[in-house]
Amino acid sequence: MSIEPIRVLVVDDSALMRNLVSKIIEGAPDLAVAGTAMNGEFALQKIPRVKPDVLVLDLEMPKMNGIEFLRARREGKIDVPVIILSSIAREGAEVTMEALALGASDFILKPSGSVSHDIHVVGDQLVTMLRAYGGQYRRRHGKSLPEAPEDYALRDPEMAEGSATAGAQAPEAGRSKSPLGGQFASPKAAGQAPAAGQPGPAGPLEIIALGISTGGPNALRKVLAGIDGNLAVPILIVQHMPPGFTTEFAASLNRITSLEVREAADGDLVKPGRIFIAPGNYHMEIEKRSLAAVIRLHQDDPCNGHRPSAGVLFRSVAKSYGNRAMGVIMTGMGRDGAFEIGEIYRAGGMTVGQDEASSVVYGMPRVAWENGFVRRQVSLQEMAETINTLVKELV
């Protein structure tokens, strides 16, 4: 018996957009359009009937807009994941962050306004998110998943064609259970990854670098809400996000933790109790000086198909801090940071990865794990406490 495709409900007031988005969905063999709706009110009526696994939601709609729909969804305890697809996101990052705070899973920008004839430009990214969030919903409800392209979690729709890392396969690696909980990977590397080697002991911890992508907005909210308010080290975060959104994203995270969360600026002092989010379209590195460490931002070429890149951050932290650094790699499509976290590992630093079961997309953390660069692999639910515990043990 064939397995039913992931069912998608498309909610947009434009008939043209509903049609164009539906064509993108129908072009993927493991996805299907469960139905369409012209506003949030009709969407609420259709959800019980068409039983979608995931929604694509416009924000600008008459009668009941996207924000109003998300409020009603929360009140009705509807747990179907929602991906925001709207032009207002480009004009109002604050509205997009409000949507995420109300429970939307992620967002994609329409390329050219409310009615985007060129919506196909973000087609691959949309399909990737629908597979990820719709698949996660199906697994959560004990439903089988249709067959997706075998390596889709390792693909990255933002990766430049012909890039040095595009299309490479991650090798297998051994792994063993840790007596402390979670899993440990045994060192093994091949292909692009340099030999992991046996790392030395971790030194006194001075900094945490975290890389995350698809599934990141909600995962970071969960992790930062659980981080100790007296954390003795700074945290630098690369979340793949377009320019103009990281300021509001940092502000939204700042409201859920007693630590100071801000969008990084060039020259910012790196101090304990501060959490820095890399700005969209800027790489973030760290410069260690005799009296202080400062943030350095630049727009060099994308790394692993991204700017900002987790790989750039991990490499910089490994160079400046060696075994006094912790690298954390979490849910995300592709491989960004997966090999560069190995530089922290080889220097003797602590490395932590998110496990497959709790990742929206087990791409970035999978490659790092299979190459033996992750000392400890834990669930999203355990991540904050793991970080808190390791900081106390290593500081």
Catalytic residues: 213, 240, 336
Q: How far apart are CA 314 and CA 225, in angstroms?
A: 23
Count the Cβ atoms, other than its own, within 10 Å of residue 14.
17
**Three-state DSSP state, 75:** helix
Rounded to the nearest 10 degrees, what angle do helices 93-101 and 216-226 cross at?
Answer: 70
Structure tokens at 296: 């350095």
**140 class by beta-carbon count within 10 Å (0-12 exposed, 13-18 middle, 19+ buried):** exposed
Q: How far apart are CA 53 and CA 343, in angstroms?
A: 39
Beta strands in the chain (DSSP E): 6-11, 31-37, 54-57, 82-86, 106-109, 175-177, 183-185, 207-212, 235-239, 260-263, 274-277, 283-288, 293-298, 325-329, 350-354, 376-378
Is the separation of the CB atoms in 236 and 210 below 8 Å? yes
Task: Identify the CA nearest to 128 among candidates 95, 109, 154, 161.
Answer: 154
Q: How far apart are CA 32 and CA 91, in angstroms?
A: 30
Which amino acid appears at position 60 of this protein? E
**Residue-wise DSSP of 273-327:** TEEEEPPTT-EEEEEE-SS-EEEEEE-PSPBTTBSS-HHHHHHHHHHHHGGGEEE
Would you give the DSSP letter of residue 349? -
